[in-house]
Amino acid sequence: MQNNTNTQLFNVEVEKELDVSDVIASVYEALTEKGYNPVNQIVGYLMSGDPTYITSHKGARSLIMRAERDEIIELFLEDYIENNLKK
């Protein structure tokens, strides 16, 4: 019989915060490797919320679901404004 009177130490690893641009880069690479049009697939995911638009290759589907869709859209919009509208 085990002695359960001793305190057990339990360590939980904290997930590091996601960098949305790194997520997009990884997902883009996985989609490209599988022969998909990454723009169409990512837009489909962002519009519908359906993760099946993203391949599971290299864990891309689970990775993109860890980022909030609004954060991804915000990143794209900020980049577009910075590179196309600011003179």
- How far apart are the C-alpha atoms of 70 and 38, rounded to whole Å? 18
pLDDT (tens, 9 = 90+) of the chain, 87 residues, equals 566 677 777 777 665 677 999 999 999 999 999 999 999 999 999 999 999 999 999 999 999 999 999 999 999 999 999 999 986
Kindly state whether residue 40 falls inside one of the protein's structural domains: yes
| Under 8 Å between Cβ of 79 and 24 | no
Kindly state whether residue 4 falls inside one of the protein's structural domains: no
As for how many domains the chain has, the answer is 1
Range of the domain at 44: 20-85
Kindly state whether residue 1 falls inside one of the protein's structural domains: no
